[in-house]
Amino acid sequence: MWLYLAALLGLYFLRRWYRERQSVEGLPEKYVLITGCDSGFGNLLAKPLDARGLRVLAACLTQQGAEQLRKATSQRLQTVILDVTRTDSIAAATAWVKEQVGDKGAGFKL
């Protein structure tokens, strides 16, 4: 029984080691848009993606949230104010994203 558990544990750590070694090439040229970056999951996701070298486009609801996030991250991370309940805010954020990404975002559609 102990041998079986040790084998399972070994397989688990082997799989984990293998997954952590996986990487995506060209991260500095890749963009990711994350909404809800004032706090919560969006904020928690934006910071490590920025640290890994991605160009994070972080959408925040408030100016205060955007400023706090910028202080905690590198210059690669850019913020935009976005209220997803307002059509004009969505349109402005969409235009901003297209401007930031340029021709690298050929597949970006809304």
Helix (H/G/I), strand (E/B), else coil: 60? strand
Q: How confident is the model at residue 95 (pLDDT cuts 50, 70, 90)?
A: very high
CA distance 58 to 37: 6
**φ and ψ at residue 79, rounded to 5 degrees:** -115, 155
CA distance 47 to 49: 6
The domains of the chain, with CATH numbers, are 26-105 (3.40.50.720)
Question: What confidence score (pLDDT) does residue 77 get?
Answer: 96
Better pLDDT: 2 or 37: 37
At 19-77, the pLDDT tens digits run 877 676 777 888 999 999 998 999 999 999 999 889 999 999 999 999 999 999 999 99
**Burial category of 92 from C-beta neighbours within 10 Å (exposed 0-12, middle 13-18, buried 19 and up):** middle
* H or E segment to which residue 33 belongs: strand 31-34
pTM for this entry:
0.73
